[in-house]
Each structure stands twice: as structure tokens, then as C-alpha cells.
Amino acid sequence: MYLRVKEGATLLADLLYKSTGLCTLGLHSAEHWMQHEPRLVDALSCMTQLTEIELQVLGPNTSRFLSKMQSAPRKLVLRAPPQRVVRAPAQQPFGARLDLDPQLQLLSVEYLAALDNSNLPGLVDLARLFPSTRSLDTSLESTRPARGQPLVVIDWPTPEYVRGSAGLFANWRNATSTYLLELVDQLHLQGPRKARTVVNLKARVFLAAVDSVQPASFWHDGTHPAVEQALRAFPILRRRTVRHKLLSHMWGAARKMVGSC
């Protein structure tokens, strides 16, 4: 099995050395391929026309590629491995931490998807690495400092579209450019502290998921003041879009239809 994988990695490196005009790269298990064939790092680093890069499974080799690459990609997606191949929490994490030069800045990246919580640096480091990001999709959250340690503020003014958890914005400042905010979690499940964090933002368009069994009164019956405050906190809000799946209402309507037959 090892020999077949090694042979495949060698063939892939040979192919990529000849594909100098490649514009879009998607490489799953990227770190493992590069471990089997180190020439892949050089083959990819020498490319100059990559505009979109997606890597799954990070580590020292993918770090070397991103540090050395001659391309100036506009889109960069860093994914976690599929859940079915992630090892148990007590074991070593799948992949390894992305380790980039502290002085490195990838100025060309405008769309960043940072979706590997175990192996990506924190939000402060991402803001420094990708200062030109306009569209951000991330599963990372702001972290509370250890007792006695100062609060680390995230100063990332460029994102116009942000998709993530409410906890992402706990330490976020200077988010004046954010036009569209999309929460991937449900505010009422995050607690009042996280719900209040979105108050700091001035997004014009707000997208949020609503629990499928919550009645419409959930948003204005006074039982979840932090959520209501969050929704009212956009003084320049032009359009508020809520993805509302009211299964209970649908069920009631279906019963009425059946009863009328």
C-alpha cells in the first residue's frame, strides 16, 4: 500500500512540474502527499498563476509551500480533514499546526476560509497574515485570556463579508467595513455573552439561523433580551434576513389542510 501511494505521489509531482499554467489547485490530504513526495512542495511553490488554492490536512510541508509560493492567490481555503478520519481526542491531532513566518503577509488573498480549528493559528495571527481579506469564512472563535493576562484584541478592519460563530467577534475591534454578517450558529444557544458580541458590529445585512421549533414570538417576547438587542443593534441596517424554518407552523398548516379534505 505504501509503495502505491509513494508511486502516486511521484507521478503527481511529475505532472505538476509540467502544469505551469495551473490556475486552480485543490489538494485533499495535502500534507500526506507532500510527506510521501517532498518534490510536491517545490512543484507547487514554483507555479506563478494559481489564483485559487484549497488545502486539506495541514502541517510543516503545506506551511513551506505557502511560505515559498510564487503565486498570488485571491482565494485560499484551509480545510480540516473529514470527520471520519480524525483520530480520537486523546490521540495526536490529525495533521499538524500551520507554522508560517511571523513576518509573512499574503497580501493577494481576498477570500479566506479558515476551517481547521486544530491546526490553524489564532485570529490575531490570521489578521496579520491576511491583511487584505474581504471575505472571511471561519470556524475559529475569539479566546478568553488566561487569568492575569491582558485581553488580546483582534484588529482586522478589511473583511466586508464575515461568516462564523457569534463567539468569533468577542474581541473584535474596528470592524467598520463589515457589510454582511452571517452567523452559522443559533444565537439563543450561545448564551447572552456571545449574543451581545454582535452588537459591536455595524453590518448592513444580517443572516442568522433560527431553531426549527422556535415560534416567531421567540424574537420579541422578552425572554431572550440579548438576542433581541443583537438584532436591533444595527443602526444602518438596510435589510435583515433571517433563515426561519418554523416546522411547528408548517405542521399546523398541514393539519389544517388535511382536516379540510
CB of 203 closer than 8 Å to CB of 234: yes
Domain interval for residue 74:
1-140
* Cα angle value 246/138/212 (rounded, 5°): 10
Domain boundary among 95, 111, 140: 140
Question: Do 158 and 91 belong to one domain?
Answer: no
Q: Give the predicted TM-score (pTM) of the model.
A: 0.77
Question: Do 135 and 213 belong to one domain?
Answer: no
Please give the C-alpha separations between residue 9 and each of 19, 60, 96, 213, in angstroms, as whole numbers: 15, 17, 20, 49
Question: Do 125 and 183 belong to one domain?
Answer: no
Question: Do 71 and 42 belong to one domain?
Answer: yes
Question: Do 94 and 174 belong to one domain?
Answer: no
Amino acid at 69: M
Question: Do 172 and 87 belong to one domain?
Answer: no
Confidence (pLDDT) at 240: 44
Q: What backbone torsions phi and psi does residue 249 show, to the nearest 5 degrees? A: -65, -40
The count of structural domains within the chain is 2
Confidence (pLDDT) at 33: 94
Q: How many of the other CB atoms lie within 10 Å of CB of 242? A: 11
**What distance lies between CA 175 and its chain's CA centroid?**
17
What parts of the chain have a pLDDT lower than 50? 85-93, 212-213, 235-255, 257-258
Question: Do 130 and 146 belong to one domain?
Answer: no
Cα separation, 70 vs 226, whole angstroms: 47
Confidence (pLDDT) at 178: 82
Q: What backbone torsions phi and psi does residue 120 show, to the nearest 5 degrees? A: -95, 150
Question: Do 119 and 206 belong to one domain?
Answer: no
> What's the pLDDT tens digit per position in 166-203?
778 778 877 778 888 887 776 555 556 666 666 656 66
